[in-house]
Structure 1
């Protein structure tokens, strides 16, 4: 992957990262700051801005639509060219991890996983797409996962996580088709960052092959490089950190 900023489209003037306090989200904000972005909207539950004069922190909660709507309204006058939902959960706060068998399915846990992995990013799209002016190119991306691919699923298990990411991928496809009618310059995609050394992957890092674990800084560089090359013709799909399409 080439360095940030050397893609066909390049780095935008304004970006917004939802989930800026996570491993990948913070690395994205840092990379954008180094690349010369004028304004980086950095969303987290606390709303605390990170270091950098370009960074503007704002508070939001994936499970509180009003907080997402307020964030979008704050950006309405001058919307970002790129919006990235760098959010997601694999292990819940109470320690509940992905189910390895259907016998472990629990409706409350499933609902929470879907709220964070599917519904939350969908609400981000709902309100951020709503402020995008016609006639201007923009990109909206959400972190997805290769395990959300139905055709590529050969191991099973991880039921709620897989299903929530597959549902997210379907929503992104729907949004892309709808926005193409009114915003032909739009790019709406899912991104598979690989296995990143972050809080999400820590419980599952043992046994990984050497070289399979990616630093957040490298993951951010990879994802920005991919986004900088995508065109509206590729909208509605999911791409991995190499820029290769993930099958549906």
Structure 2
């Protein structure tokens, strides 16, 4: 359950007021718990006309007339190329649906993988090149390459929001417990890449907002092995997190671009 001190209300009609009426949204990492919840909230809102969803496996996404899906692994060159080609087909036509995405939500993330024997490290001796490489590939490099691919579409001087999931453990100044080397480092890299991109994109489009968001501990497969340690009231549902992240992303002004915020809208130190 979410923190009872913060009301969990449905998204207001004016949540996406900064974006064009009938905007198009792009969600990557769409098959994860938070990704699916974000899609559900977008499809239920009258302001959003179309959702483009990308994941390695889209079979879990229910069919919807306003939802288009692409099965692609964005940690590979082939997957990135497939997305670029697909976006051109989806967005560059003459129809009304040919508008570039005004809201891009990156929900890609990896903390552990039993099949690949990847687990958060407790000590230096647990470090491996395989874990460091894989977590950086998913958590840092894939979002940065996604931004690079989308950059030409962000040049227009109209409001656009790129929100990418990060984690508080990626904050260097907030690191007081140690451990989790590869995950911490990959999220810190994610934050630096996004911050750097925000500076460049601001020169092209002062209406653009690029922001890193910490969702809190959410009841998904990523957190399942570690939920026993979560304090009472601090394990959030995916629906709650999706609504909070959408509110935060849409309430932040362009001057906040390149920032790092949590699900409650509080700034997180780098």
TM-score, shorter chain, exceeding 0.5? yes
User: 1:59, 1:231 → 2: CA distance?
Assistant: 33
Equivalent pair of 1:65/1:123 in contact (CA under 8 Å): no
Report the counterpart of residue 263 of structure 2 in structure 1.
241
Equivalent pair of 1:113/1:164 in contact (CA under 8 Å): yes
Where 1:142 maps in the other structure, the secondary structure is strand
Match of 2:55 among 28, 44, 58: 44
Report the counterpart of residue 33 of structure 2 in structure 1.
23
Measured after TM superposition, the shift of residue 111 of structure 1 is 0.6
Describe the shift of the 1:11–1:196 C-alpha distance in structure 2 as closer, same or farther (beyond 3 A).
farther
Measured after TM superposition, the shift of residue 47 of structure 1 is 4.2
Report the counterpart of residue 68 of structure 2 in structure 1.
56
Measured after TM superposition, the shift of residue 209 of structure 1 is 1.3
User: 2:29, 2:174 → 1: CA distance?
Assistant: 27
73-82 vs 232-241, which deviates more? 73-82
Measured after TM superposition, the shift of residue 64 of structure 1 is 1.3
User: 2:16, 2:71 → 1: CA distance?
Assistant: 33
User: 2:261, 2:240 → 1: CA distance?
Assistant: 16
Report the counterpart of residue 223 of structure 1 in structure 2.
245
Measured after TM superposition, the shift of residue 115 of structure 1 is 0.6
Equivalent pair of 1:98/1:161 in contact (CA under 8 Å): yes
Flag the structure with larger Rg: 2
Aligned residues: 248
Ranges in structure 1 where 5+ consecutive residues have no aligned partner: none
Measured after TM superposition, the shift of residue 100 of structure 1 is 1.1
Task: Provide Cα deviations, 1:223-242, integer angstroms capped at 9, x if missing partner.
Answer: 01111101110000111000
User: 1:66, 1:196 → 2: CA distance?
Assistant: 30
- Verify: 1:4 aligned to 2:40, yes or no: no
Where 1:139 maps in the other structure, the secondary structure is strand
Q: Post-superposition, which runs of at least 4 consecutive aligned residues in structure 1 deviate over 6 A?
A: none
Report the counterpart of residue 90 of structure 1 in structure 2.
111
Report the counterpart of residue 161 of structure 1 in structure 2.
183
Where 1:226 maps in the other structure, the secondary structure is helix
User: 2:159, 2:26 → 1: CA distance?
Assistant: 15
Measured after TM superposition, the shift of residue 189 of structure 1 is 0.7
Describe the shift of the 1:204–1:134 C-alpha distance in structure 2 as closer, same or farther (beyond 3 A).
same
Alignment map for 1:141-160 (pairs within 5 Å): 141-160=163-182
Where 2:119 maps in the other structure, the secondary structure is coil
Measured after TM superposition, the shift of residue 121 of structure 1 is 1.1
Task: Provide Cα deviations, 1:209-228, integer angstroms capped at 9, x if missing partner.
Answer: 11110011111011011111
User: 2:257, 2:81 → 1: CA distance?
Assistant: 24
- Verify: 1:35 aligned to 2:39, yes or no: no
Indicate the RMSD between aligned Cα atoms, in angstroms: 1.7
Task: Provide Cα deviations, 1:129-186, integer angstroms capped at 9, x if missing partner.
Answer: 2323421221111100000001111111100000100010000100000011111111
Measured after TM superposition, the shift of residue 8 of structure 1 is 7.2
Equivalent pair of 2:241/2:263 in contact (CA under 8 Å): yes
Task: Provide Cα deviations, 1:13-56, integer angstroms capped at 9, x if missing partner.
Answer: 11000011000000000010111221000111134453321110
Match of 1:104 among 88, 109, 126: 126
Report the counterpart of residue 135 of structure 2 in structure 1.
113
TM-score (norm 1): 0.94
Measured after TM superposition, the shift of residue 10 of structure 1 is 5.2
